[in-house]
């Protein structure tokens, strides 16, 4: 059983490493991620939001719904921990 697990892990890892050959280079300006919306954010973020840090403006303004969902997920995790772990007594 252990050997089949090892073979499966090695096979999956090999496939993943083979897949990285098709990924764009690190910081490649011609990659799809830096061609679609990134230039607009880089050019307009200070003009539109007066925030010098692009990460903050994308996180909190352009992608505000995502951050709202993230905050709700953390809140839900806290409530779930209270309901599961906390001991209620009299």
User: Whose Cβ is closer to another protein: residue 8's or residue 79's?
Assistant: 79
5-13, 14-22, 31-39, 49-57 -> range binding another protein (CB under 8 A): 49-57
Q: With beta carbons less than 8 A apart as the criterion, state whether 52 and 46 touch.
A: yes
Q: Does 14 bind another protein (CB under 8 A)?
A: no
User: How far is 33 from 63, CA to CA, in rounded Å?
Assistant: 16
User: Whose Cβ is closer to another protein: residue 39's or residue 78's?
Assistant: 78
User: How far is 90 from 88, CA to CA, in rounded Å?
Assistant: 7
Q: Does 2 bind another protein (CB under 8 A)?
A: no
């Amino acid at each position: 059983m252990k050997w089949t697990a090892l073979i499966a892990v090695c096979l999956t890892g090999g496939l993943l490493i083979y897949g990285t050959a098709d990924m764009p280079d690190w910081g490649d300006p011609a990659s799809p991620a830096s061609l679609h919306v990134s230039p607009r954010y880089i050019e307009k973020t200070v003009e539109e939001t007066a925030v010098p840090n692009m990460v903050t403006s994308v996180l909190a303004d352009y992608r505000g719904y995502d951050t709202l969902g993230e905050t709700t997920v953390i809140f839900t995790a806290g409530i779930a921990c209270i309901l599961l772990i906390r001991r209620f007594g009299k």
